[in-house]
Amino acid sequence: KQSGAQKRKLQSPHGNPPVKRKRKLSINTFRKGAIATEADRREEGSSSQKTVPKKQLTDKQNESQKIKPFIKTSSLFKNNPDIPEIHRKEVQQLQENVFTTDSFSQLDLHPHLISTINTVLNICSMTSVQKQTIPVLLQGRDALVRSQTGSGKTLAYGIPLVQSLQGMESKIQRSDGPYALVLVPTRELALQSFDTIQKLLKPFTWIVPGVLMGGEKRKSEKARLRKGINILISTPGRLVDHIRSTECIHFRRTQWLIIDEADRILDLGFEKDVAVILNALNAERETRQNVLLSATLTEGVTRLADISLNDPVSISIADEIQKVPEPASQTDREASSSSNCMEQENFAVPETLQQYVMMVPSKLRLVTLAAFILQKCKFEKRHKMIIFFSSCEQVEFYHELLVKVLSGGPESEQPGRSPLSSVSLHFLRLHGDMEQEERTEVFQEFLKSKTGILLCTDVAARGLDLPQVTWIVQYNAPASPAEYIHRIGRTARIGCRGSSLLVLAPSEAEYVSLLASHKINVSELKMEKVLASLMKDDRFKLHRPGRKKSCGKNPQEVRERATVLQTKFENHVHSSEGTVQWAKKALQSFLCAYTTYPRDLKHIFHIKSLHLGHVAKSFGLRDAPQNLTALPTAGSKRKTKPRPNRSELLKKTHGKRRLAELLRSEYSSGMDTAGAKVKKK
């Protein structure tokens, strides 16, 4: 007994492992055979695991890293700014009664023209702007027409124009040259207006319409001008080019001048071009009928109306509706200058348009946009969507990125995938740096398609009638409430239903109050609700061995799927040096565009409020680029002098002028302006 006690005393203080192993083995020997063999197997299994070679361990570690792809990227949901609550005032939006019960047969029009409107255009009743404008123009009066986008302004001037020309006593000859001149800001709107006028002229084949625009060959345009064009539709820059270089163009018989989207023409810096055109018209024929059409009434449009219109009739649908509920005493107290100011500030929005705003931190912008596209164009009813960006480089970059990651590919064709994930998305792009042939092809393709996603700059924001567009997404905020109105005007046209989404960073929340001050109501859409749609796509499921299937929308799993999706974007961007440079170029263009917001919006959109590393995430970059040249980096503490070339130009150029220069390339006439730029330097 004493020797046993001494044994226990020796074992207890030291606790040698070999003694414990001996004790364990000695206990197993007293158990039954079956129990002993199970324990031996466990011992053998544990001992075999301890003797695994290092190479096998590293292989298993690599496999575990492949199973968890999210560890390649930092967390998307950490260190983000708080999303502020949106305190917006409920304001009464201006409404226009788009449709009337009056038919075109009530007007004094040619029977063949009425038949063409009813059968070819499939239109029976007039809109409000058409009801008020057509009789005025048929009387030969000048007019300044203001109405919301998508209200039918093209037919408002097109119908009286065709009626006037077909009823002339001496029949029009093609060789007579232009009897009417229609100016529009963009090439796409020129094509659309030409198509509408061509349909109206179907019964009157002796009247020849034609279009001039940048990107086309001058030689072929000159040949068409020599043959003769009676209704000439053109962009301002291209027409000025022909006025200066083409001898055969003349305006001796021009009886109509129509300026469509007049405010946009002036915003893009075409005021001098319009002056050249007016001088050329006045030099050959002083008397004519002039019409200005616009969705907004700016100071520039008023100035242009004073120059070009003679005793005009002012037609504004929203103003009439706005004045009806006002008491007489209040109207009497208001001065005329105040009413003019109101006309400039408040905008009419279609009653069938639902407007949303979503606050998204910079790091989460890319995955949230992708989730929204999947939700609307794949998991819900098939939608037709337009997404607006602030630069051509962003359109090119995001088009390539979204096509590669979201639009199917080898992963979506694997067996076992859900039917939803195999539905392909159709992405298109449209911007001012594209060749004219490609721009026209894309425009026509999106025009005819029932579904699809068009990524574009503001080149598609004005006047274009794109049927069945159900969603407008403004990924980069517009530079003014007027531009906001024109962007959302691509949907909910002519009484159809539509929705719009404005994506803002938390630092840009005050923009909602700015919209409210212009009588624009927006409702908030939560980012978490959009990201939850990723639960429907198994491509972004985080595969963990032995993990049970989750039911419902678990917030943690939603975050994991968002991180997997972000990793897919980053893997594609970092798959080659070329795509990395492409992403950096797109990021640089975004930052340049961000500096062009007007001065009165700098407190909302300031470059210093951006976190460059977080913004880089939205371009699929894992880190903030260090070699972005000549850009003001947010939060930078370096005291080195900026490089003089680009940054000095940005300092010397005013914000409005920089914005105009940035946008002008979208609507260029196609002329080679490189020489002019060199001379300025």
The 3-class SS string of 134-203 reads HHHHHCCCCEEEECCCCCCHHHHHHHHHHHHHHCCCCCCCHHHCCCEEEECCCHHHHHHHHHHHHHHCCC
Name the residue type at position 28.
N
Residue 127 and residue 100 in contact, taking contact as beta carbons nearer than 8 Å: yes
- How crowded is the C-beta side of 325, counted as CA atoms within 13 Å? 6
d(CA 674, CA 681): 11
Collapse the DSSP code of 151 into the 3-class scheme (helix H, G, I; strand E, B; otherwise coil) and give the result.
coil
DSSP H or E run through 356 = strand 353-359
Cα–Cα nearest to 471, from 492, 457, 444? 492
pLDDT at 236: 94
Domain boundaries, the chain: 2-51, 99-345, 354-667
Distance of CA 81 to the CA centre of its chain: 25
Q: Report the side by side order of strands in the sheet with 143-146.
A: 209-212, 231-234, 180-183, 256-259, 289-294, 143-146, 313-316
d(CA 553, CA 36): 48
How many Cβ atoms are within 10 Å of 409's Cβ, its own excluded? 12
Collapse the DSSP code of 81 into the 3-class scheme (helix H, G, I; strand E, B; otherwise coil) and give the result.
coil
Residue with tokens 């198994």: 538
Residues 6 or more apart whose CB falls under 8 angstroms from that of 6 comprise none
d(CA 86, CA 522): 10
141-185 pLDDT tens trace: 999 999 877 788 999 999 999 999 999 989 999 999 999 999 999
Work out the burial of residue 143: count CB atoms within 10 Å of its CB; fewer than 13 is exposed, 13-18 middle, 19 or more buried.
buried
Q: What DSSP character marks residue 105?
A: G
Residue 248 and residue 222 in contact, taking contact as beta carbons nearer than 8 Å: yes
pLDDT at 3: 54
650-674 pLDDT tens trace: 444 455 555 555 454 444 444 444 4
Q: What DSSP character marks residue 348?
A: B
- How crowded is the C-beta side of 197, counted as CA atoms within 13 Å? 28
Question: In terms of DSSP bridges, do strands 99-103 and 125-127 run parallel, antiparallel, or are they unpaired?
Answer: antiparallel
Domains 99-345 and 354-667 fall in the same CATH topology: yes
Residue 99 and residue 350 in contact, taking contact as beta carbons nearer than 8 Å: no
Beta bridge partners of 387: 455, 473
d(CA 157, CA 194): 13
Q: Over 80: is that where the pLDDT of 343 sits?
A: no
Backbone angles phi, psi at 163, to 5 degrees: -60, -40
Cα–Cα nearest to 464, from 438, 436, 444, 437? 444
d(CA 578, CA 54): 37
Work out the burial of residue 543: count CB atoms within 10 Å of its CB; fewer than 13 is exposed, 13-18 middle, 19 or more buried.
exposed
Q: What DSSP character marks residue 94?
A: B
d(CA 242, CA 257): 17
Cα–Cα nearest to 357, from 508, 565, 533, 535? 508
Q: Domain 99-345: give its CATH code.
A: 3.40.50.300
∠ Cα 473 237 201 (to 5°): 80
Average pLDDT over residues 94-118: 86
Question: At what angle are helices 555-573 and 365-374 packed, to 10 degrees?
Answer: 110
183-207 pLDDT tens trace: 999 898 999 999 999 999 999 999 9
Alpha-carbon separation of residue 260 from 20, 155, 291, 457, 530 (angstroms): 94, 12, 8, 20, 38
Q: Name which of 9-18, 72-81, 350-359, 544-553 the model is least confident about.
A: 9-18
Structure tokens at 548: 């049970």
Structure tokens at 674: 């490189």
* Mean pLDDT for the chain overall: 79
Backbone angles phi, psi at 188, to 5 degrees: -65, -40
In 449-489, beta strands by DSSP E: 452-456, 471-474
d(CA 408, CA 489): 31
d(CA 499, CA 385): 10
Average pLDDT over residues 529-547: 81
Dihedral sign (CA 394, 470, 408, 66): positive
Residue 565 and residue 73 in contact, taking contact as beta carbons nearer than 8 Å: no
Residue 224 and residue 210 in contact, taking contact as beta carbons nearer than 8 Å: yes
353-408 pLDDT tens trace: 999 999 999 999 999 999 999 999 988 877 899 999 999 999 999 999 999 999 85
- Binned at pLDDT 50, 70 and 90, residue 85 comes out as confident
Backbone angles phi, psi at 100, to 5 degrees: -125, 170
Residues 6 or more apart whose CB falls under 8 angstroms from that of 229 comprise 174, 177, 178, 208, 209, 210
CATH architecture of 354-667: 3-Layer(aba) Sandwich (3.40)
- Binned at pLDDT 50, 70 and 90, residue 677 comes out as very low
Q: Is the pTM of this model over 0.75?
A: no
d(CA 113, CA 515): 42
214-271 pLDDT tens trace: 888 889 999 999 999 999 999 999 999 999 998 889 999 999 999 999 988 988 889 9
pLDDT at 365: 97
